Structures are given as structure tokens and as C-alpha cells.
Amino acid sequence: MTAATTAPEPAASGSGPEVLVVEDDEGIATMLVRGLTRGGYRVEHVTTGANALAHSVPDVVLLDLELPDVDGVTVCRKLRERSSVAIIVVTAYGEENDRVNALDAGADDYLVKPFGLAELQARMRAVLRRVRPGGELIRHGPLTVDLRTRKVTVNEQEVALTPKEFDILECLALDPGRVVARHEVLESAWDSHWYGPSKVLDVHVAALRRKLAVPGLIETVYGRGFRLGEV
């Protein structure tokens, strides 16, 4: 996928949310497109503010502030005026005034370059949680996850989960179909400073599968992680 273009690129394959990358730096754009596509997102890329504003509304916009034609804050404000799309500013500008201007213009989050792909995806999941239609209820096939009450049902029958099992399921259910890396699940269900054996994750996932009792619901993608499959 060529990053240096003035028109939207075709959507990449994937079953996750649609992401529009608004970035004129070829190296950064390529990293974002490839990394997010591998993560299961549907990614498109534009290099100008004008093309971002002309684009159909995606689920998430990753917006650089330094664009060749229009100031990124102006683009953010115009996007917010027309939709409730999740907007995450990704920029080299880290001064407080830059953050304030972007957030006042309607950005949901602000991430300063350089940043890690795992952190970016975690912030995307958090933003999508806040803007998800229907609030805190996630439905996927026979599965329903209530994020507010932490209740889980399968075919309308409540399933009792431990706190860790729920945290693992929540991590997967927030973005069905996307492969969630093992370290992401560990960081979400435990914390970012977890240094114990990763085998503990397999034990909890096995218990979760038994309790949910839906074959194929939680898939293992060997060498990568887990995802919620189509059921």
C-alpha cells in the first residue's frame, strides 16, 4: 500500500473498525497502515486535510496536526461538526497549548510521536468504548457482554465469570474479529507490569471457553494471540 498519495487508498481487508489515517509522512503512514491492518482493522490513508474532509465517515480518525494544506486543528473541528467519529490526534507537537487546542476542537485523545502501536490500539479501544452506539452493551452472536454491570449472557442465560475471565473476554469483545496479541490481553486483564508466566493466560482462557460453551467463539491464533470468531 503506497502511503504517499493525495487520494484515499482502497480499504484494507479486515473485520474490525474502519480507521482513516490522515498523515503525510510516508514512513509513519506506512507503519500505521501495516500495523493496524495486521491487527484486523480496515485501514484507509489520505495525506491532506481536504481529502480527510471529503472522505466518508469511518469509525476512527488518526489525525496528524501538521498537514500540507489545512491546519489539523481546523480539520478536527470540521470533522466534529459533522459527526461523532472517534478522533485521535497523533502528532509531534507535545506542548500543552497544542493539546488544549486539539481537545477543544473535538479530539477524543491526543498521542505524541513517537508512540508504540500497542498503546495506540489501546487508546483506540478506549475511545471506541466511549462512542460505541448503545453505550456499554456488546453483542456478538449468542454472546452479550454488559460492560457496566460486568454481566455476561450466552443465549440469554447468564454465565458467572471470575473478574479475570471477564477482563479477558472484555478485551476480546471490544473489537470482535481482531487478533488481540497475548501481551495486550495480559496488560488489559492484569497490568502493564505483569512479569509472571504467560501460561496463566492459557489457563484462564481455557476456563472461559468451558464456561461460555460456544465452540469457535474464542479462537487461538497461534503465534499471535486470540480473537472472537464468527459463530
Q: Where are the domains of the chain?
A: 18-131, 137-228
Query: What are the φ and ψ backbone dihedral angles of 214, each rounded to 5 degrees?
Result: -120, 100
Cα(77)–Cα(68) distance, integer angstroms:
17
Non-local CB neighbours of 12 within 8 Å, separated by 6+ positions:
1, 33, 37, 41, 42, 43, 44
Q: Which amino acid is at 101?
A: N
**pTM, whole model, 2 decimals?**
0.61
- Helices 182-189 + 117-131 axis angle, to 10: 60
- Residues of the chain falling short of pLDDT 50: 1-14
Cβ proximity of 181 and 189 under 8 Å: no
- What is the distance between the alpha carbons of residues 200 and 151, in angstroms, rounded to a whole number? 23
Q: State how far Cα 84 lies from the chain centre.
A: 16
Q: From CA 101, how far away is CA 106, in angstroms rounded?
A: 9
| Residue-level pLDDT at 2 | 35
Give the pLDDT confidence score for residue 109 in this predicted structure: 93
Q: Which is it for the CA torsion 95, 97, 99, 101, positive or negative?
A: negative
Output DSSP code: residue 117.
H
Question: What's the first-to-final CA gap in the chain, in angstroms?
Answer: 31
**CATH architecture of the domain with range 18-131:** 3-Layer(aba) Sandwich (3.40)
Tell me the pLDDT tens digit for each residue of 108-136: 999 998 888 888 888 888 788 777 655 56
Give the per-residue pLDDT at 84: 87
Architecture in CATH of 137-228? Orthogonal Bundle (1.10)
Helix (H, G, I), strand (E, B) or coil at 199: helix
Quote the pLDDT of residue 153: 95
